[in-house]
Amino acid sequence: MSSSAGTAVHYHQGRKGGYLLSREAALRLMNPAQTPLEDLLAAARAARDAFRPGIITYSRKVFLPLTNLCRDYCGYCTFRRDPGQPGAHTMTPEEVLEVARQGEAMGCTEALFSLGDKPEALFPEMRETLRNLGYRSTLEYLEAMCELVLRETTLLPHPNPGLLSAEWIARLARVSPSMGLMLETTSNRLLGAGSAHDNAPDKVPALRLKMIEEAGKLGVPFTTGLLIGIGESVEERVDTLFAIARLHASYGHIQEVIVQNFRVKPTIPMCNWPEPDQADHLRTIAVARLLLPRVNLQAPPNLSAAHYESLLDGGINDWGGVSPLTPDFINPEAPWPHLAELERRTNARGFVLRQRLPIYPEFLDSYTAAPCVHRTLLRARVLSASDDQGYAASMALPPHAAFAVAEAQP
Ligand code: SF4
């Protein structure tokens, strides 16, 4: 049994050297009447500082929305489009390469491919687009674009294409060192009429858990996370965290957990939904930190713009992907912080800001030693992009230089 000094926050040693809270303890921590926020945050900060003292990371990326057509209709989504809607777009290979090359010139090391889920299953227009491009499915096209970026630039692809079979995880792992799927929630209740996922066949929690498990069986460094404030109960939020912790205890492949806060937008079905407040967000981050003390924990700075450095109090050690070039297409109303400003505000809290790759440092050695990536272009790219500690090599521009380059763009 271990505890944070002077607080009522207790946690115990779990499997594989991690710490596992009991569900009951986690629920007590989530309850403001039972656990003062300051006590909880102090314990979370101590856990973060034991894991990654003094360093906060970010990934300098370009965001490539390969297609915003999607067969799902999540109640909070402002990204998706139907064919013919204003803004509906599938990027061409030339567009992908142009953005990737611009990002490369600004010291980016990640090409984040984020896209709608299986649009060709619903829309004949997407089947036609894919036919014209020479592919049978969005995933085939994604695989080819990851390979294109890998061959033609120094960026490392990180695909985030929604649900994948084991076969597709393995195929994409040949062209990307890491990938991601937000679990979001394990609540089946949110599939019900009028709820966030009532018309989103790819948001069935069991399917998403299965994909994350398949990635674990294949040893793919994996990013996942929660989306909080979409109608889940506190119990369901805690259960989602436990589901991630269990998968990580079994396979050890969860490199990063994102605790993303729902932000309301005027155009979404959930436009009248309340946003989670800062204390609620911080409390959830802190419980995630105590449950996953040796997993990188991230909260997006642009979704808490006015006070994002306070997220450090919850025990995060990463700002996620930040782009000097491309907007956050998922939250277009929330611009990324300028990298120089991010560095200044991180430094002001006593941390050094370091650029990481889409694959985290602690996963690099086993990844590059794996027989399946031996003698591949991907392995060569990962090795040349990383320094001797597994962070982005110094060929990347410092934040102020990237800032200057970004400012010089029209
Ligand atoms: S959140 Fe993702 S899966 Fe849901 S509608 Fe938007 S793009 Fe599609």
For the chain, what are the domain ranges?
2-408
Which tens digit of pLDDT belongs to each residue from 94-146? 999 999 999 999 999 999 999 999 999 999 999 999 999 999 999 999 999 99
What's the 116 CA to ligand 1 centre distance in angstroms? 6
The 3-state DSSP class for residue 258 equals: strand
CB 382 within 8 A of CB 367: yes
- The larger pLDDT score, comparing residue 267 to residue 6, is at 267
The CATH class, in words, for 2-408 is alpha beta
79 within ligand 1 shell (Cβ under 6 A): yes
116 within ligand 1 shell (Cβ under 6 A): yes
For residue 317, pLDDT over 80 is answered with yes
What's the 73 CA to ligand 1 centre distance in angstroms? 6
| DSSP letter, residue 172 | H
Question: How far is it, in rounded angstroms, from Cα 5 to Cα 390?
Answer: 33
Question: How far is it, in rounded angstroms, from Cα 362 to Cα 364?
Answer: 6
Q: What number does the ligand 1 atom closest to the CA of 68 have?
A: 7
The 3-state DSSP class for residue 297 equals: strand
Select from 112, 117, 328 the residue to mutate for testing ligand 1; criterion: most ligand atoms less than 8 Å from CB. Answer: 117
Radius of gyration from C-alpha coordinates of the chain: 20
Give the per-residue pLDDT at 374.
Answer: 67
Strand-pairing partners, residue 253, are none
| Percent of the chain surpassing pLDDT 90 | 81
70 within ligand 1 shell (Cβ under 6 A): yes
Q: Of 208-217, 224-233, 318-327, where does mean pLDDT reach its minimum?
A: 318-327
Which tens digit of pLDDT belongs to each residue from 150-195? 999 999 999 999 999 999 999 999 999 999 999 999 999 999 999 9
Q: What number does the ligand 1 atom closest to the CA of 76 have?
A: 1
209 within ligand 1 shell (Cβ under 6 A): no
Question: How far is it, in rounded angstroms, from Cα 184 to Cα 193?
Answer: 18
pLDDT band of residue 332 (cuts 50, 70, 90) is confident
Single pTM value for the model: 0.91
Question: How far is it, in rounded angstroms, from Cα 404 to Cα 408?
Answer: 6
| Percent of the chain surpassing pLDDT 70 | 91
Q: Is 125 exposed, middle or buried (0-12, 13-18, 19+ CB in 10 A)?
A: middle
- Secondary structure E strands in 188-253: 222-228
Phi, psi (degrees; rounded to nearest 5) at 239: -65, -35
For residue 256, give the H/E element and its range.
strand 254-261
pLDDT band of residue 329 (cuts 50, 70, 90) is confident
